Amino acid sequence: MARVFVGMSGGVDSSVTASLLVEQGYDVTGVYMKNWTQDMPGMHCPWAEDVADAKRVAVSLGIDFEVFDFENEYKQQVVDAMVSEYKAGRTPNPDVMCNQEIKFKLFLDTALARGADLIATGHYARVTPDGKLMRAFDENKDQTYFLYRVKSEALKKTLFPLGDMTKQQVRDYATEKNLWTADKKESMGICFVGQVGIREFLEQYITLEPGEIILQETGQVVGRHDSAMLYTIGQRHGLNIGGGLPYYVTGKDIQKNQVYVSQNIDNQSMWRDELTLTDLSWVGASPEPTDDLQVRLRHRGSLLPLSGLSINDEKAQISLKESERAVAAGQSAVIYRGDEVMGGGIIS
């Protein structure tokens, strides 16, 4: 009987994951990863409640339950990296780094050292026995965008029991099995601080300096911002510039702390059809330029067909068949070959 350590966050997805594996005959141990416990101003971190919820489910399933304390590693490898990226004017994705460094490296290594044969999580994704990462059956819930930096060697030791289920099926199963978390709401926002916004979070680590919002076409100052670090290309909301047509962020100068905007949706600063990717990571072998490839530039974004791809050791150049708006430096571009996730890199 294979021994599986299941990452249990206290939510319905990981609760159903554990229950399904028990039904399938695995020797299951539930594990809560204590990554973040710090309260934010006006926001209570619910980690203790989440541990209690996960433990209640584990008790009801009759499985062992443990807490792995990864808080120091998480602060160094995810939080500090995210803050550094914002300081540089880029828009990072902490969920991607969390999966790469914590869930499918630190958690996996710790679990294997403790006698596990496999790990499992509640991600909506699929994996083949030979370690290929595949899109989930439920396209609306597919989370492979966040998993593209997980290597094939780790995926061979990983189970994704929810990969062939819809969210409604997961909810229905949890209700049928009377799982404690059946009606628990989804956690949204930054992966480790729940509902708190990025501004409130960054204020704990960075002094945010107000500055000018400048109309790109004329150089006219049209408003004030709280910090250029907080804005991303194509952003429309949160500018607080009144009157007339909406404004869109077309650029920013971190050194001068200036944000540039335009009311022209066709402003070329917001549209790109050629992208350079750095910090490349491939699940297995890198894709061939002759493959029929698509790219996803944001979670739940459309799969965009590529017209060209060239890769060297450190960078990749990708050409989109059609220009895409609001492509932000620091975000991930994830390359797919049909349902298979090949990998990707960071947009520069």
Q: How many CB atoms lie within 10 A of CB 148?
A: 24
> Which sequence spans correspond to the domains of the chain?
3-176, 207-262, 270-347
Catalytic one of 97, 125, 191, 213: 191
In the prediction, which pLDDT does 190 show?
A: 54
In the prediction, which pLDDT does 200 show?
A: 81
Strand 118-120 vs strand 3-7: parallel, antiparallel, or unpaired?
parallel
Catalytic one of 4, 98, 335, 346: 98
Q: Phi and psi for 249 in degrees, rounded to 5?
A: -75, 125
C-alpha 97/C-alpha 148 separation (Å) is: 10
* Sequence-ordered list of residues with C-beta below 8 angstroms from that of 16, at least 6 positions apart, any chain: 122, 161, 162, 170, 173, 174, 177, 179
In the prediction, which pLDDT does 42 show?
A: 74
CATH of domain 270-347: 2.40.30.10
Strand 211-215 vs strand 221-225: parallel, antiparallel, or unpaired?
antiparallel
C-alpha 65/C-alpha 226 separation (Å) is: 44
In the prediction, which pLDDT does 61 show?
A: 97
In the prediction, which pLDDT does 196 show?
A: 62
Both tokens of 210, joined, read 């107000």
Residue closest to 138 by CA, chosen among 150, 123, 158: 123
C-alpha 73/C-alpha 186 separation (Å) is: 25
Would 207-262 and 270-347 be classified into the same CATH topology? no
User: What is this structure's pTM?
Assistant: 0.94
Q: How many CB atoms lie within 10 A of CB 168?
A: 10
CATH of domain 3-176: 3.40.50.620
Residues facing 170 on adjacent strands: none
Q: How many CB atoms lie within 10 A of CB 128?
A: 12
For residue 122, give Cα distances in angstroms to 40, 64, 144, 166, 212: 26, 18, 12, 12, 44
Q: What are the average pLDDT values for consecutive 10-residue runs of the chain, which has 348 residues?
A: 96 97 98 90 84 96 98 95 93 92 98 98 97 97 97 98 97 96 75 63 90 96 94 90 89 96 93 96 95 95 96 93 93 98 97
In the prediction, which pLDDT does 216 show?
A: 95
Query: Is it true that domain 207-262 has CATH number 2.30.30.280?
Result: yes
In the prediction, which pLDDT does 192 show?
A: 53
* Sequence-ordered list of residues with C-beta below 8 angstroms from that of 216, at least 6 positions apart, any chain: 250, 251, 260, 261, 262, 267, 269
45 is catalytic: no
In the prediction, which pLDDT does 23 show?
A: 98
